[in-house]
Amino acid sequence: MAQDVFVIGVDYGSDSVRSVLVNARNGEEVASSVFNYPRWNRGAYCVPAENQFRQHPLDYIEGLEKTIKECLQKAGPEVAAQVKGVSVDTTGSTPVAVNQQGTPLALLPEFAENPNAMFVLWKDHTGVQEAAEINAHATKFDTNYLQFVGGIYSSEWFWAKLLHVLREDEKVRQATYSWVEHCDWIPFLLTGGTNADDMKRGVCSAGHKSLWAADFGGLPPNDFFASLDPVLDGFTSRLFTQTYTSDQAAGQLSQEWAERLGLSTEVVVGVGAFDAHMGAVGGQIEPYHLSKVMGTSTCDMLVAPMDKIGNTLVNGICGQVPGSVIPGMMGLEAGQSAFGDTYAWFKRILLWPLQNLFTNSQVIDAATAEALVEEVSNRIIPELSIAADQIPLSENNEFAIDWFNGRRTPDANQVLKGAISGLGLGSDAPRVFRALVEATCFGAKKIVDRFNEQGVPVKGLIGLGGVARKSPFIMQMMADVMNMPIRIHKSEQTCAIGAAMFAATAAGIYSKVEEAMAAMGQGFDLEYFPNPERVELYAKRYQKYSELGVFLESHSASASLATLSDLPETSSPAQDGQTRDVNQTQDELQGIAR
């Protein structure tokens, strides 16, 4: 390509949205901008103790406009005139209730402050009971509707969240026309959509979280959902049958958004997808190489040629969907519900005295206290990493289990809790931190083991994102635990760059996304190799980690069943007299546990 043309990739994360303006000819990042969600960052609409995490659509809209405009301002009008495409990735499953016009209910005055009318963030686990019921319900059908999502439905996903919201909030239930993923709604917004029925749904979100499959001719039949709970009767007719890969166009920029952003209405808007899927493309994924996007959680992506993977199904992962990562290839997803979030949790524990006591200090003023807290906050993880790296490794060091936000894969179970064991009076902050890092690495190894055991070999590891680039301590431990080298991609913004690659493909600059990857990819600049001396010790500790996990899970299962048995029989809000039999559900869950 001789001429410079430009595309924009928009990456919606858990805490902020980032836009990058990229030269489609060579992948050069011309400008970038980050917007922290103001409502989210002050904790609005969230109740962490109840695993409720909601985000207001205004955070997304304000961030979209601000970051794109800032990128264009930095680049100048000549570059803005040559922008050809925009594509978006988001966290997921992060769905929202919309009316028939496709407007999220929280944008309507009567629902502006109602968390149930907002986007239900991926890590919201309020639908744990609903997920359990879906899993039990699926066993009653001749067709296994969970076969392409690893055999277990998660509370982090589309249907569990929908069912929970509909049951919990009658006003939202009455106003809801459809249920939409964040990654599908933003392209609809940018293209000026006014009818939810016309929204182009991506195969990525549909296949991995919504139970859509070509083998079923779309979503499971209405009877599957109506017999689960009458509130779902008829809902599939207001969803979708057809899906689209992310190399396709959702449409062109609407007049309104073209004016708001300072772009042309000829700019193509690509079909959206989840962040890790586009991040894997931005990180130049290769067949049978596990692409690990490491942030608050991890999403682990693997692609395989369709003719080679055949009918192989991997149990306990987040699904396998043709075209969800690279069109024409099988995309397989796994991940951990907490990775960076585990380190952030420990950091908050350590910061508690400073944040809660320094503000009332009799020794230093408030401004100094605030500055000191900020300085310590920025230094805690780097300093802990240095200290933890100096601790001699032995079989009996402190142990941890990494289920601090439940377990995503293998075998989704959001009821599970994290744990730290082997503590003594000599256990200090670096030792506990080391155990937490090791636990997250062991959790990652469980995923690799599952792929290998079930006939999809993992031939290499690719590390993506801020944790991969900023923490040599964690990455070296990952290589040692896995007993595999791990290559680190140059870009910290692989998700946004991946979105830009899809924008270039949807706009017709490249005929397929593999061409965009080759031309726009930035390559790798770091690689960690396993230390043979540590590999053997980690293998022994991994066995103990596995044993401790089995013990904890057996007790968690017993406690969950006991809690469920204490619940009264509850009536479905849809129809008086129709009762969900909790005892029946308990029996089914016990059967699954056995």
Q: Encode pLDDT of 309-363 as tens digits.
A: 999 999 999 999 999 999 999 999 999 999 999 999 999 999 999 998 887 888 8
Percent of the chain with pLDDT over 90: 88
* DSSP element (H, E) containing 88: strand 83-90
Q: What are the boundaries of each domain within the chain?
A: 340-490+526-548, 550-593
pLDDT level of residue 560 (50, 70, 90 thresholds): low
Tell me what pLDDT residue 236 has. 96
What's the pLDDT score for residue 499?
A: 98
Q: Please, which pLDDT band fits residue 593 given cuts at 50, 70 and 90? A: very low
Q: Which of 333-337, 354-358, 451-455, 470-474 has the lowest average pLDDT?
A: 354-358
Give residue 169's pLDDT.
Answer: 97
Tell me, what's the pLDDT at 206?
A: 98
Tens of pLDDT, residue by residue over 431-448, are 999 999 999 999 999 999
Topology of domain 340-490+526-548, CATH: Nucleotidyltransferase; domain 5 (3.30.420)
Name the burial class of residue 302, with classes exposed (0-12), middle (13-18) and buried (19+) by CB atoms within 10 angstroms of its CB: buried
Share of the chain above pLDDT 70, in %: 93
Mean pLDDT of 374-397: 95
Task: Give tens-digit pLDDT for 187-227.
Answer: 999 999 999 999 999 999 999 999 999 999 999 999 999 99
AA letter at 470: K
The pLDDT score that the predictor gives to residue 563 is 47
At residue 556, what is the residue type? S
pLDDT above 60 (res 75): yes
Average pLDDT, the chain: 92
User: Residue 266: its pLDDT value, please?
Assistant: 98
Q: Each residue of 15-58: pLDDT tens digit?
A: 999 999 999 999 999 999 999 999 999 999 999 999 999 999 99
**Residue-level length of the chain:** 594
How far is 584 from 576, CA to CA, in rounded Å? Answer: 19
Q: Which two tokens stand for residue 201?
A: 């749904």
Across 525-546, average pLDDT: 96
Q: What is the mean pLDDT of residues 472-485?
A: 98
Quote the pLDDT of residue 574: 38
Token digits of residue 581: 């039999």
Alpha-carbon span 464 to 523, nearest angstrom: 11
* Helix (H), strand (E) at residue 266: none
Q: What is the pLDDT of residue 587?
A: 42
Is residue 318 within 8 Å of residue 408, measured between CB atoms? yes
Torsion angle, alpha carbons of 128, 131, 137, 141, to 10: -160
Residue 577 has pLDDT above 80, yes or no: no
pLDDT band at 232 (very low <50, low <70, confident <90, very high): very high
Query: Which residues have CB under 8 Å from 244's CB, separation 6+?
Result: 200, 201, 202, 203, 250, 271
d(CA 369, CA 357): 9
Which pLDDT does position 555 carry in this prediction? 85
Residue 572 has pLDDT above 70, yes or no: no
The string of pLDDT tens digits covering residues 90-102 is: 999 999 999 999 9
Residue 564: band (very low, low, confident or very high) from pLDDT cuts 50, 70, 90:
very low
CA angle 15, 20, 23 (to 5 degrees): 165
Say yes or no to pLDDT of 558 above 80: no
Element (H, E) at 228: none
pLDDT for 360: 80
What is the average per-residue pLDDT within 527-538?
96
Q: Which residues contact 504 (CB under 8 A, 6 or more apart)?
A: 7, 24, 84, 85, 510, 516, 520
Give the Cα separation of 219 and 127 in Å (integer).
20
Q: Is the link from the previous residue into 14 a cis peptide, with omega within 30 of 0? A: no
pLDDT at residue 414, rounded to an integer: 86
